[in-house]
Structure 1
Amino acid sequence: MARRRVGVLVSGSGSNLQALLDAAAAPEAPFEIVLVLANRPDAYGLERARLAGIEARLIDHRSFAGRETFEAALDAALREAGVEIVCLAGFMRVLTAGFVEGWTGRMLNIHPSLLPSFRGLHTHARALAGSCAVAGCTVHLVTPDLDAGPVVVQGLVPVLPGDTPESLAARTIEVEHRAYPRALAMLAEDRVRLEEGRATLADERPGERLLLHPLLAGMA
């Protein structure tokens, strides 16, 4: 099977982008990163892409009159590069329904909570405020409703005594970097099926869609 062509949208440091780049470097990876787009000139994700020899382009949202023209530029760049799957990796712009629907079933996002809990921002602080025993991350297909798309993979992390939003975030990102490449591989292999608004997997293996932080794995 030919490797699927992936475009990644970033706004910041791009640590999840780096996890995808590292995974794509494996000979057996079913995907390749062919384009990285950023909406901010200071996004370090652009430099990560260049260091990996991947085309990187700035499409600054502030240069456009509105969301529609900005998104038209994003869409044109992705399609010109022959992108088949889009990954949002810390892309801090809410996308319109029109853009999202143009990539239905072919766009992934990673969110730092166990969706449907804690959609939106400040997820770690909200998990701590809610006295949650566990937190985590979710890789999901993108739909027009924010953080509401079908779940592909989730990662589970423990909430420890004395945790701060920063310490919980640091623990969660460890699992994010494992969950995102796994979910992308599933989609690139055409194993993800949409059924009645849910994502299922062809030939799913037990536990395949759940990752545990090493601290939890050690407690199992």
Structure 2
Amino acid sequence: MNTSNFSFSNITSKPQVAIAISKLTIGIVGIIMNLLVCFIFGTHQNLGQPFNYLLISLSISDLMISCSIIFNLFIDILDNQLLSSISAIVICKFNCFSGFTSISAAALTLIFISVKPYQAIASMHIQELKLSSIRKLILIIWILSAVGAVIPTVFSDIMLKTHFDCTIAVIDSLLLVIICSILLSLLPAIAMLTIYFVIIYKLLKTFNSKKLKINSIAQGRQKTLRRYILPVEHLIQSAAYFSS
């Protein structure tokens, strides 16, 4: 095939074709698998525990990331003349907004989900959070994620590098860079870590109010595990959000 006559002018070599096929495969598989997860949770009543709604939220985040991969592929294969159209720019901005929002929401959801193994390892068998509390938490997660994605979306556009690509222009205002950093990483991380440690405090308070018949050595080990080792471990895991 003569690639110079190929209508998809951004796909001009075999490596680019291989990358495009890989993106398409990953995107389609991601969409199908995450839709199946949402379908399974929605059709099985025994999976309707409040905490599982966080897993649904995580699946929706992954679903948006998969859709973002497809949108990015769509931009890659468009003809150069079509890339200057308003529709292509709208797709680019939507792709950028959904990508930033979904990745941030997935990271914040994973931070909160890590409370579950903390509760299990520390032998804290207490009542699950109410559904209303989980819904409020999910709403907070998505609002924080969406707000942080606004500025990068405004500066996103289709630009010519090695080929036309949907990317973010250089933000020349230091104030906007600071605001973007606060909204995109600092504010969500502080909010989620605050919620995280409030929950740990409540777990510790609830656990300490129970009288357990265990020897002093085991009690001391559990105390060290709950109060020092696990919180520090999860704090380190949460710190990875800043680096992203």
Fold-level similarity (TM above 0.5):
no
Larger Rg: 2
Q: Which has the higher helix share?
A: 2
Q: With the length of structure 2 as denominator, give the TM-score of the two structures.
A: 0.25
Q: Which has the higher strand share?
A: 1
Larger RCO (CA within 8 A; separation ≥ 6): 2
Q: With the length of structure 1 as denominator, give the TM-score of the two structures.
A: 0.27
